Amino acid sequence: MKGFSTMTNHIYVATVRLAHALLIGLAITSAVPAAYADADNAQDIVARAKAQAHHEKKNVFVYFHASWCPWCRQLDKLLDDPTYGPKFRASYVIAAVDIRERGEREKDENPGWDTLMASLRGAAEQDVPYYVILSPMGKKLGDSYRGTSASIPDNAGYPQTEQEITGFLELLKKTAPAFKPGDIKKLGNFFRAHSNPQPH
């Protein structure tokens, strides 16, 4: 009977703990705004990307974007380009974070993006696209502002000017081993040819 009582006690304790965990989970879920119900938390997106990058020996390309942003669409095209996309994916795990969405797309915005951006940029008031390169351990290697000798005074976003293009290419040289010198030169020409996004 002693063994039976001990087992019963263990079952009771486990049941109480499970119920407590479920209640906490429900409380957290209920605290998430309805607009975020279908979107992943921004911090979780980056955490998964860092874990994958560590396993695959890559860096992390954290990419803040919005569906209404024409320059974001230009950067999307670059990341999906049949020539350059594979090189980006060979060098980085891309962590796309959706921010400041509007209307029906608001549900796609990733909750916690402002906290994440503030931790990486120093402020959440930032135009898009804005990107940050992280090591698998989370060390900031550069972003669309700094980390290059180009000394870009404003957010380069999608590089357009010669100064912005130079800054972006220098960042790739430091953090994207799949891009060889010939690729860097061709990509510079690609930017110069795609510096004017089409309005939507």
Q: Which CATH class is domain 37-193?
A: alpha beta
pLDDT digits (tens, 9 = 90+) for 81-110: 999 999 999 999 999 999 999 998 999 999
Contact 134, 140 (CB under 8 A): yes
Please give the C-alpha separations between residue 182 and each of 84, 127, 186, in angstroms, as whole numbers. Answer: 12, 31, 6
Give the pLDDT of residue 92.
98
Domain regions of the chain by residue span: 1-31, 37-193
State how far the Cα of 104 lies from the Cα of 155, in Å rounded to an integer: 28
pTM for this model (two decimals): 0.75
Q: How far apart are CA 95 and CA 112, in angstroms?
A: 14
